[in-house]
Structure 1
Amino acid sequence: MSNVDILVPDLLESISDATVVNWNKTPGEPVQRDEVLVELETDKVVLEVLSPEAGILEEVLEDAGSTVTSRQVLGRLRRRDSTGQAQTEQLYTQKTAMVQGHQKILEAASHDTSCLTISQLIADHDLNAEVIKNSGINDDLTHEDVEKEVVREQSAPAPIGNRREKRVPMTRLRHRVSQRLVEAKNSTAMLTTFNEVNMQPVMALRQQYGEAFEKRHGIRLGYMSFYIKAVLEALKRFPEVNASIDGEDVVYRHYFDISIAVSTPRGLVTPVLKDIDMLGMAGIEKKIKQFALKGRNGTLTVEELTGGSFTVTNGGTFGSLISTPIINPPQSAILGMHVIKDRPMAVGGKVVILPMMYLALSYDHRLIDGKESISFLVTVKDVLEDPIRLLLDV
């Protein structure tokens, strides 16, 4: 039998290294082909390294917490052969049973204080031997003395003001997000402009056509597809918002890749809806749902998180009424959507209750002037308040 190297996958040029999060197998344990052996975390995504073939995990070269680079050897796998496979698995099963049996013996001993020495009891319960009252012959310390002290410690009230802290290392993803946020604040002339939009027309369309839409396309008609389509129309009219600064140059993009902010257990990520001008409402909704599921499961790929010329974030899903979103470098702007709330509005000289939502556009003033930023936001507002504009291209 020969060994097979377990390698770090090829990382993109924008990712220099990765951190080993944990191994799902231990040396000597049998593995199947394409079984997840180890998880790696980069500043963008968590990568799962699969077993290249069936065999036995021979050795682990990079433990959890190690920093690794592209194509680096993480460990080695011993190939199985047809004659030794059953024997190897039998030996592993016997070894596992022995370890489990040993653990049970140790566990039983930990509950049976008679199996422990007095010094072990004191150490296990973190007691101060000097304060324990001795009752043995010649003033010796006995098991009973230690056990009484354990009971006394456990029954004693906790000291007032006893506050605990827990220190854990920041994940690579969280660390990178924090770096990018500080970078955006320090390297851009960021301003935010606000407006508000009457969401009644969009809500009426969803109510009228939502059921038919779901039957035809197999996906619910949400708000995000309306937001994305409104942003697309505004980006077409104001190309500066879709551009970015590269050194002393301005890069104008003739495509429309929109990053959408997705909250995951490991932090905020921004998968990219590519070529939104080629997607219909159903295609957008399906992509967003796919990204949300992948974000929760930690299966977003590096390619899905790379690129993007503009970002849309919807804090309204968490109840945010208004905010100032931070630009996602090297992009030049980000649009924040918020919770829809019924508010009294003046319409035609009368007070009317309408479902209103605040819009917030943060932009880099080095590239985008106030006129363009305000006009961009007004375009988004106009399209959402009169969605028929999308059909008539006006």
Structure 2
Amino acid sequence: MIIKVKVPSPGESITEVEVASWFVKNGDYVSRNQVIAEIDSDKATLEISAEENGVISLMVEKGKRIQVGDILCIIDTSKKKPIYNNENSKEKELDFHEKKISQDIIKKIPSPASKKILSEKNISIESIHGTGKQGRITKKDCIIADDSTTTASSFLMEEWEIPPTSISRSRTKKITPLSSLRRKLSERLVSVKNQTAMLTTFNEVDMQEIFFIRKKYKDIFKDKHGVNLGFMSFFTLSCVRALKLYPDVNAMISGSEKINFEYYDISIAISGPKGLMVPVVRNAEHLSFRGIEQEIHRLSTRVRNGKITIDEMTGGTFTITNGGVFGSMLSTPIINPPQSAILGIHKIVDRPVVINGSIVKIRPIMYLALSYDHRIIDGRESVGFLVSVKETIENPIKFLMEGSENNIHRILEL
């Protein structure tokens, strides 16, 4: 029986994909549910598994673009997995090696005269090709080897004297086609720059209070919930609070209309093997610190394992991207369309800070950047949003923990 494996639809509105990788070769025997290939769409990567046991025939080359529904490969289920006689294979392998060793021994036995030349000239027997009967090394072979060694030494000396400027340097280049995911990303980035009035506003935030809370409770949090108490839960909840105060930052333009979302689906930019992915933490306004950290951990794992789906990356209303994990001090993040704003958080650096106008202290400072579409968000809203995030991060007990340190255990569900 012949099974036709067709290209599945990776998601709504996607009609074309690219064969990113084959994990099997033409004629291989494959097992049911074995991963045989990966296909790239303009939004995500999808694994293809064998539907039945059998011998596979590949119908499409790696790198080729094909339509959803096209035949990717066929599996002949009537062909069974080949069975090898291990004992016969071992015997044949031993016979081959024994013959090869015996031939090598014959070749490497020099005549008495040859031995003398080899010893006097300090020539390695492995470097000589025997021309005698059955490959035996002769006196003539040794003389020729001695001459070659002398000539090679002279050549090396001459080569050493060549001026360094004449040494050849490699100037190769490697050309590889962009994946469909990277091509689509390029198109989207250019589109954002051309179709939005994008501006960026900046601020800085003192991370000391967050440091204190994490240092005191991170081990208890990890033991209780199985995930780290990271910075992202603080920033996610701070953004939810700011979005409620400045609703146009949680809005989008659709034609001649503005859509304000009354829920808060926060997209989190995560780097994976296929590039930057932006899965969504849905209804973040209803999640606790534990819920957000567990969901980010789940989505991050799926991104890094190449398991993330298009549905998990669709529908965010606002994005947070953390360039600080790569060491970025400051950047201007690009809006994730059709959203209207994105928050960039960065590397934390110890800096001198003036406290109460007179005291200078060293504090862990982070730069924040909010890129926004000026067509829908005014300067007042963008600056106010960033100030709100700043005051929440600098006063997490007041704004995220109901104003009392006594509530921290309850808020963190410890």
Q: TM-score, normalised by structure 1?
A: 0.79
Q: In the alignment, which of 308, 317, 323 is matched to residue 325 of structure 2?
A: 317
Which is greater in Rg? 2
The equivalent residue for 2:386 is 377
The superposition leaves residues 225-256 of structure 1 with CA deviations (integer Å, 9 ceiling, x where unpaired) of 11111011111221111111111111111221
Show the 5 A alignment for 1:1-394.
2-57=1-56, 59-80=57-78, 85=80, 88-90=81-83, 159-160=167-168, 162-348=170-356, 349-388=358-397, 389-392=399-402
Identity of aligned residues (%): 43
Q: 1:181–1:326: 8 Å Cα contact kept in structure 2? A: yes
SS at match of 2:290: helix
User: Given residue 166 of structure 1, which amino acid in structure 2 is its aligned partner?
Assistant: K
Cα distance in 2 for residues equivalent to 1:17 and 1:275: 32
Q: 2:9–2:15: 8 Å Cα contact kept in structure 1? A: no
Superposed displacement of residue 303, structure 1: 1.6
How many residue pairs match? The answer is: 337
SS at match of 2:55: strand
User: Given residue 251 of structure 1, which amino acid in structure 2 is its aligned partner?
Assistant: I
Superposed displacement of residue 161, structure 1: 5.0
The superposition leaves residues 158-214 of structure 1 with CA deviations (integer Å, 9 ceiling, x where unpaired) of 844542211111122222222111111111000111111111111111011111111
Cα distance in 1 for residues equivalent to 2:228 and 2:82: 48
Cα distance in 2 for residues equivalent to 1:278 and 1:71: 40
User: Given residue 77 of structure 1, which amino acid in structure 2 is its aligned partner?
Assistant: I
Q: Which segment drifts farther, 44-53 or 278-287?
A: 278-287
Cα 1:79–1:162 change in 2 (3 A) is closer
Cα distance in 2 for residues equivalent to 1:218 and 1:191: 39
Cα distance in 2 for residues equivalent to 1:271 and 1:253: 18
Q: 1:29–1:92: 8 Å Cα contact kept in structure 2? A: no
Cα 1:259–1:14 change in 2 (3 A) is farther
Where do 4+ consecutive residues of structure 1 move more than 6 Å? 155-158
Q: 2:10–2:41: 8 Å Cα contact kept in structure 1? A: no
Alignment gaps of 5+ in structure 1: 101-144
Root-mean-square deviation (CA, aligned residues, Å) is 2.9
Cα distance in 1 for residues equivalent to 2:263 and 2:396: 22
User: Given residue 322 of structure 1, which amino acid in structure 2 is its aligned partner?
Assistant: L
The equivalent residue for 1:118 is none
Cα distance in 1 for residues equivalent to 2:171 and 2:297: 42
Cα distance in 1 for residues equivalent to 2:258 and 2:322: 28
User: Given residue 190 of structure 2, which amino acid in structure 1 is its aligned partner?
Assistant: V
Alignment gaps of 5+ in structure 2: 94-147, 405-414
SS at match of 1:11: coil
Q: TM-score, normalised by structure 2?
A: 0.75
SS at match of 1:339: strand
Cα distance in 2 for residues equivalent to 1:90 and 1:208: 61
Superposed displacement of residue 10, structure 1: 2.1
The superposition leaves residues 264-283 of structure 1 with CA deviations (integer Å, 9 ceiling, x where unpaired) of 23221111111112222122
Q: 1:28–1:92: 8 Å Cα contact kept in structure 2? A: no
Q: 2:333–2:370: 8 Å Cα contact kept in structure 1? A: yes
